Amino acid sequence: MKHEMKINLINCPWWVRYCPPYMLAYFSTYLRACGYSVTCFDLNNRMYHDVKPEQMKFWDDRDYYSSWENEAFVENLISGHEFDAYAREIVGTGGCVNLFVLHTPSVLISYRLAAKLKELDQSAVNIFIGHKASRAQMAFDFIKQPFIDYVCPGEADIALTGLLAKLAKRKKGDPFPAEKGFISKSGGEITDCGEPDYVKDLDALPFPDYSDFKEDIENKRYAEPHRLDLLDSRGCINACHFCYERLFWPKYRTMSGGRIFEQIVFHTSRFPQINYFYFNGLLLNGNLKVLEEFCDRMIESGMKVKWAGQAMVRDDMSKELLVKMSRAGCVWLGYGIESGSQRMLDLMNKHFNIEKAAGVLKNTREAGIDFQVNIMFGFPGETRADFEETLKFLATARPYISSILASQSFFTLEKETFIRKNPQKFGITEDKHHLFWKADGGRNNYEERFKRYEEFCALALKLGLPETSGVLRVKPDKWFLLGQYHMYDKDYIRAAECFERSSELESKNETTLKLLEECRRRTLKNE
């Protein structure tokens, strides 16, 4: 059934621009199957090609990640660019629904664009979806904004069809209808309609159609023009105490191995130049039977396609299966090790043994698969002895490791997670700020976590690991971040010292200078 309603799907900067965004490709396909007209706007990639060459580094270098959360940086970037032209083009489609897909560093520019769209067309309906719109993240921050009408805190597939049907019947001037699965706002009043229903059978979903991005793919306007993403599963079989992403997906589900294989055949038949797929679920080895079925189909087909994704450490993921994965085209895995201390792994509720994990890493390397190890710093309860176990693990596992993802936020205390709801069990004494929390009588604070991060990076570089994915000799916004921490902690003298260093060594921007002046003013007043 065809609907008159037109929808704009929008992806704002910043996010990695390896390939066309999966969420836009999937939802455009899903909504068109429901009879809606959809236009996709990958403004993240488009703006990259529109800015000055010297500004492209802010997309290409992921170590500038936190810059996108700096209002002065974003305003400066937009002010030197014809950004409002994007808004006029979006309004020009005649679409009355603007569906924004959100990531952490895309919030500020999404705000700016959504506000402009409302300014140009008061009847436009702005909807925010994605992990950043979850209750554990910014759902209620979003809905308080005057230019945002709906927020979906979970899977949006089923909920969207119900909402769009109601919006299509809504008459001009009528209040916005409530719909299950959305937090909505009408006449200034916020209504929470609960959690959305979730898709139970992933095999029943359509394959995302990347044809909207055909020209950009063929003209190699993405960083990895031979790559596409696919979502093989939703949810996780684990329940790590710190994880907010699994809260977004209410239950672990996976496509069948045959369906994953068919999806790869579907994409390569339409884009012969594509030979690499990234599985962007939380883990690609949640169901080993499905994984092996997929590998068997790939090997039988003789397809020369490479693939990669995140994986959990499993004792039952045998070397034989890893060899089969390699033969089937697996070239890279990301393992969430997080700590080299067994005590900390148990506290995190990660169900693996660190000594056996070393064996899994060895088997992965010997199977011919590269891998990255993810590490966080200062998890509540982590002592110096625990941290030294992580350093020891790094040195021991170094012969097998390809790269390290060193968390540049060290450890974030996310809303709605088990650890946030049970701070006393982890010795947390200050939990109001997701970055600047304190534990262990205040000894585990942001500054201490920063020191551990830097010590870890120094060892990783000494061991010859690449300076990438957070492993840095110098974090480009170190002094600005420390200044923010000391200011939050009301230590205005130390905060001012950090902002001075940031202005001298990092960037003399308006935000830093304002914060410096504010700290000096408060110091003079003995606040």
Give the tens place of pLDDT for each residue, 456-509: 999 999 999 999 888 999 998 999 999 999 999 999 999 999 999 999 999 888
How is domain 6-192 classified at the CATH fold level?
Rossmann fold (3.40.50)
User: What pLDDT, on a 0 to 100 scale, did the predictor assign at position 321?
Assistant: 98
The answer to whether residue 368 scores a pLDDT higher than 80 is: yes
User: What pLDDT, on a 0 to 100 scale, did the predictor assign at position 469?
Assistant: 82
User: What pLDDT, on a 0 to 100 scale, did the predictor assign at position 1?
Assistant: 66
How far is it, in rounded angstroms, from Cα 27 to Cα 231? 12
User: What pLDDT, on a 0 to 100 scale, did the predictor assign at position 511?
Assistant: 85
Cα-trace Rg, the chain:
24
How far is it, in rounded angstroms, from Cα 139 to Cα 129? 9
Q: What is the mean pLDDT of the chain?
A: 95
The answer to whether residue 53 scores a pLDDT higher than 80 is: yes
> At residue 341, what are phi and psi to the nearest 5 degrees?
-100, 120
Residue 118 in contact with residue 84, Cβ under 8 Å?
no
The pLDDT tens digits of the residues spanning 412-454 come to 999 889 999 999 999 999 999 999 999 999 999 999 999 999 9
Handedness of CA 423, 427, 429, 433 (dihedral sign): negative
Q: If DSSP codes are grouped into helix, strand and coil, which group holds residue 333?
A: strand
pLDDT band at 69 (very low <50, low <70, confident <90, very high): confident
DSSP code per residue over 153-190: -S--HHHHHHHHHHHHHPPTTPPPPP-TT-EEEETTEE
Could you tell me the residue ranges of all domains in the chain? 6-192, 226-477, 478-527
pLDDT band at 81 (very low <50, low <70, confident <90, very high): confident
CATH superfamily membership of 226-477: Aldolase class I (3.20.20.70)
Q: What is the pTM of this model?
A: 0.93
Question: Which tokens belong to 401?
Answer: 């490791």
> At residue 135, what are phi and psi to the nearest 5 degrees?
-65, -30
Give me the residues paired with residue 294 across strands: none
Q: What is the mean pLDDT of residues 265-269?
A: 97
User: What pLDDT, on a 0 to 100 scale, did the predictor assign at position 250?
Assistant: 82
